[in-house]
Amino acid sequence: MCDTFLLVDIDKIKYNLHKLRSLDKDAMFAGVVKANAYGLGAVTICKEIEDEVDYFAVARFDEAYELRNSGIIKPILILGYVCPNDAIKCAKLNIEIPVYDLGLAKQINEILDRKLKVHIALDTGHGRIGFRDYEIDKIKEIKNFENLEVISAFSHFSTADEEDTSYTKLQEKKFTYIIEQTKDTFNYQFTHIANDAGAIKHGITKDMIRSGISLYGIYPSDLLKIEKDIELRQAFSLISTISFVKDVKKGQYISYGRTFRADKAMKVATISIGYADGYPRSFSNKAKVKIAGKEAQILGRVCMDQMMVDVTNINAKIGDRVQIYPDIYQAANSIDTIVYELMTNINMRVPRIYMKDGEIFKKVKYIGEMNEN
Ligand SMILES: *Cc1c(COP(=O)(O)O)cnc(C)c1O
């Protein structure tokens, strides 16, 4: 087996999916699988959960294409920009796109040779893409684009995972207002605004939950993790291997820049993972990994492909497995980022290994020998 891999447990993803769906059994459910399913591998995950979702959502055309090309038939919504040329392909592949600008919508409408399903994007306060609540007339103009078949309208929350609920309430209110003002024009089949946090913390689920990080067992914020309104199971772990163990004398240095100097005799292990695998260099001298159930401190700078840890009090040897993120929330906090970024950073060099019923059933490699056992 490989030195460094990302282990993904499909049963846990399904467990989380069932928990999330049980928030509202009548709501539709979109699995958000952008950025290669937050790094865990979109194609495999979509195939495993396709029967249990209503929609998949991605960020870009290429991601939607990858899913269609691998046989996914459920509706797919792209959440971000699609250029006119890709919109033609979306119409052919039955991929749905957002509309948030009349100029772009006009270009897309003109280039299309058949109808394309679209969702009107509404900016209720997130400030990214979408029409605002004072642009009702503009929104209604979308009606004039005969090749754009408006089936839905959606918005996105910006603070649903925070303590103060007032801004989420304001966003929801604006959303309801815009839908109310435009529903006779478009006869929406359904509308959607809830991300994970909106569904879990605010009980906003209609008509569809767009669930991303929680599906993979990570709470959208520390607050939601503490509140624990829902029980989620982390569905992945990043694992590496000890490649070398040595004794180090007092005064010896470890790694680039000599940022670590042993102040006593130590035992140091080298691990086969680095920032090129997506383990941030900012963890240098900071983070801890876990070996044989014990925490081991990173010593010196994280290199591109390797790093060193303190195993003075650990019975460590070459070939031992290393759990890279014993607490991924704490790791993210320690370098001022969020778990989303740590997950999506995990590089293509890291194979994804999938488990089901406690057994490995699939290995996906993006580079190297593809059919190795
Ligand atoms: C990424 C994204 C989601 C999913 O967000 P999570 O916080 O992972 O639940 C939902 N909707 C939109 C528009 C997104 O961009």
pLDDT tens sequence across 166-206:
999 999 999 999 999 999 999 999 999 999 999 999 999 99
Return the pLDDT at 309. 98
Is residue 270 within 6 Å of ligand 1 at its C-beta? no
Q: How far is the CA of 308 from the centre of ligand 1 (A)?
A: 36
Return the pLDDT at 2. 73
Q: pLDDT at residue 159 above 60?
A: yes
How many residues belong to the chain? 373
Q: Above pLDDT 90, what percent of the chain?
A: 97
Is residue 130 within 6 Å of ligand 1 at its C-beta? no
Q: How far is the CA of 370 from the centre of ligand 1 (A)?
A: 31
Q: How far is the CA of 30 from the centre of ligand 1 (A)?
A: 10
256 is catalytic: yes
User: What digits encode the pLDDT tens for the residues 214-269?
Assistant: 999 999 999 999 998 999 999 999 999 999 999 999 999 999 999 999 999 999 99
The pair of three-digit structure tokens given for residue 99, joined into one six-digit string = 């509309």
The pair of three-digit structure tokens given for residue 305, joined into one six-digit string = 């492909």
Confidence label for 97 from pLDDT (cuts 50, 70 and 90): very high
**Contact yes or no for 161/168 (Cβ under 8 A):** no
Nearest residue (CA) to ligand 1, atom 8: 212
Residue matched to tokens 């870009």 = 60
Q: pLDDT at residue 345 above 90?
A: yes
Helix, strand, coil percent values for the chain (each to nearest 5): 35, 25, 40
Residue type, 38: Y
**DSSP symbols for 206-271:** SSEEEE-GGGGT--SSHHHHHH-SS-----EEEEEEEEEEEEE-TT-EESGGG-EE-SS-EEEEEE
Return the pLDDT at 370. 74
Q: pLDDT at residue 84 above 60?
A: yes
Confidence label for 107 from pLDDT (cuts 50, 70 and 90): very high
Return the pLDDT at 17. 98
Which of 173, 256, 286, 366 does the annotation list as catalytic? Answer: 256
Cα separations in angstroms, 171 against 132, 164, 257: 11, 13, 49
Is residue 63 within 6 Å of ligand 1 at its C-beta? no
Average pLDDT over residues 72-86: 98
Nearest residue (CA) to ligand 1, atom 6: 212
Return the pLDDT at 371. 64
Return the pLDDT at 363. 95
Q: Which numbered atom of ligand 1 lies nearest the CA of 211?
A: 9
Q: Output the pTM of the full model.
A: 0.96
Confidence label for 368 from pLDDT (cuts 50, 70 and 90): confident
Q: How far is the CA of 211 from the centre of ligand 1 (A)?
A: 7
Q: Which of 56, 76, 195 to mutate to test the pocket of ligand 1 (most atoms within 8 A of CB)?
A: 195
User: What digits encode the pLDDT tens for the residues 279-332?
Assistant: 999 999 999 999 999 999 999 999 999 999 999 999 999 999 999 999 999 999
Is residue 211 within 6 Å of ligand 1 at its C-beta? yes
C-alpha 24/C-alpha 17 separation (Å) is 12
List the alpha helices (DSSP H) in 148-206: 166-186, 196-202
CA atoms within 13 A on the CB side of 27: 27
275 is catalytic: no
Q: pLDDT at residue 373 above 80?
A: no
User: What digits encode the pLDDT tens for the residues 130-146?
Assistant: 999 999 999 999 999 99
Residue matched to tokens 């042993």 = 262
Is residue 192 within 6 Å of ligand 1 at its C-beta? no
Confidence label for 369 from pLDDT (cuts 50, 70 and 90): confident
Nearest residue (CA) to ligand 1, atom 4: 212
The pair of three-digit structure tokens given for residue 107, joined into one six-digit string = 């270009």
Burial of residue 146, with CB atoms counted within 10 A of its CB: 0-12 exposed, 13-18 middle, 19 or more buried = exposed
